[in-house]
Amino acid sequence: MACISPDGSPTETGTRMLRALSSGLGYPEEIAQDTGIPLFRVRSGLRELNKAGLASQNNDRHEITEKGAKLIE
């Protein structure tokens, strides 16, 4: 259930997490609650999204980046 496919596009789980970030949710716990994705998968997924430049982290809060937002338009 990784969030990024080998071709660099978000997987179904990655897309759900990007949508959650886009709706203003920023903490792993609230993303897990909103999406139903287990917390450990949200945490590892956010790491992947951050690494791919689709999300960014400020302290414990995460935000979708412009690049991430374009992918779920």
Partner 1 sequence: MEEINKQIISLPRLGEPAPGFEAITTDGVLKLEDYKGGWLILFSHPADFTPVCTTEFIAFAEIYPELQKRGVELLGLSVDSVSSHIAWVRNVEEKTGVKIPFPIIADLDKEVSMLYGMIHPGQSKTETVRCVFIIDHNQIIRAILYYPLTTGRNMDEIIRIIDCLQTTDEHRVATPANWQPGEEVIIPQPATQEGAEERLKQDYECIDWYLCKKKL
The site for partner 1 (CB under 8 A) is made up of 1-3, 29, 38-41, 43-45, 47-48
* 6 vs 24, beta carbon nearer partner 1: 6
Q: How far is the CB of 18 from partner 1 (least distance, A)?
A: 16
CB of 19 to partner 1, least distance (A): 19
Taking CA atoms, 24 is separated from 1, 44, 48, in Å, by 23, 19, 19
Residue among 3 and 20 whose Cβ is closer to partner 1: 3
Judging by beta carbons within 10 Å of its beta carbon (0-12, 13-18, 19+), is residue 15 exposed, middle or buried?
Answer: middle
